[in-house]
Amino acid sequence: MTQTAFDRMLAELADRRAEFHVQGYVSKDFVGKLKALGLYRSATPEQFGGETMPPAVFLDKIERISAVDGSTGWVASFGSQLVYLGSLPLETQAKLYADGPDVVFAGALFPVQQAAPTERGFLVNGRWKFASGCMAADIVCVGIPGDDSTLGKPRGALIRPERLEIVPDWDVVGMRGTGSFDLVATDVEVEREWTFIRGGEPVVDEPLYRYPAITYAAQALSVVSAGVARAALTFAKEIGSGRASITGAPKLADRAYYRAGIAEAEATLRSARAYFYEAADDAWQSLVAGRPILGTVSDEQNAHLRLSAAYLARTSADVVHKVVSLSGTAAIYRDHPLQALLADALVPQEHAFLSPAMYDAAGAVLMGQPPTVPAFR
């Protein structure tokens, strides 16, 4: 079978993931390989050279990357987040994409920091956390307060990374290679036209820009978990068919509880994935139906998108935990492969976009009530 460029990238990633974990970020040259595969033009407006990927197609690619390395999958997932920038003036977007459609975006919106108004825009100062992928970013976003014109929503201010200080303080157990460093700005003036409202009305009239931007970000982070869970199940099948126990007991695959447990975990993950991808495809088909008149994603469809994303993240973490619990004493060692996968699997479900509060919010919408959390779509 001919190896594709995507397959070659995955093979290189398998060789380099330890490098990324040790240094704490995915190297810029490797992000360049992700660019070459179109991941960072998949959400660029087509009028600026983008090549739109339907969300389910993009999410599948992120899942495959995450099955090799969750950190790299997390960084690659930000290829979807250029949809955040759809509310920028078209003149600003033209400047952003002037050198080509492959733009690596990283964001650190919170905590929102003060920005003094100036004649041209805002004088930005402060420190922001969790700027995943900032070491290879072409443009980064920091959060500043909104005003009456933004209906209380915070603004995102776009800044070239060389104008900021990147503080390499990412010392964590899971997702160690995401480079989710702090950003520091000292008297950085940002012109007003380089700011946007997160979730603001887009000026780009293309199907992907009608897909709920915050929802898409939640899906892209959630699917990383599914890739990590797949890696754990693949490992479980391989190791289960291998060596016998040090106590002389039968190998894992010869034990009924192990076979049944892994089978149940497989069914659990596949079920959550099916719901996740079904919701994504249903929403996308609604958007593209009837072109040139573009459709919309209904509140109920959005609720299923958010619910399936939160459910997939938590289910995937449970699957990895189950594999560890079935794997005996070998898995308790710090350097055992399942320990790294377990640490990675626990991270996405902690993101605010994927918290248990999404269940209540989705349930409220499905019952005809307003969502119970802000920024639900």
pLDDT bucket at 298, cuts 50 / 70 / 90: very high
pLDDT of residue 250: 75
pLDDT bucket at 50, cuts 50 / 70 / 90: very high
Chain centroid to CA 288: 23
Q: In terms of DSSP bridges, do strands 121-131 and 139-144 run parallel, antiparallel, or are they unpaired? A: unpaired
Q: Is the pLDDT of residue 247 over 80?
A: no
Q: Indicate the average pLDDT of the chain.
A: 94
- The CB-based long-range contact list for 31-39 (8 Å cut-off, 24+ gap) reads 31/75, 31/104, 31/133, 31/136, 32/136, 33/9, 34/9, 34/75, 34/76, 34/79, 35/102, 35/104, 36/5, 37/5, 37/6, 37/9, 37/61, 39/76, 39/79
pLDDT per position as a tens digit, 86-130: 999 999 999 999 999 999 999 888 899 989 999 999 999 999 999
> How far apart are the C-alpha atoms of 98 and 220, rounded to whole Å?
26
Q: Which residue has the higher pLDDT, 3 or 271?
A: 271
| Domains of the chain listed by start with CATH number | 5-87 (1.10.540.10), 103-197 (2.40.110.10), 207-366 (1.20.140.10)
> How far apart are the C-alpha atoms of 143 and 131, rounded to whole Å?
11
> How far apart are the C-alpha atoms of 53 and 72, rounded to whole Å?
19
pLDDT of residue 148: 75
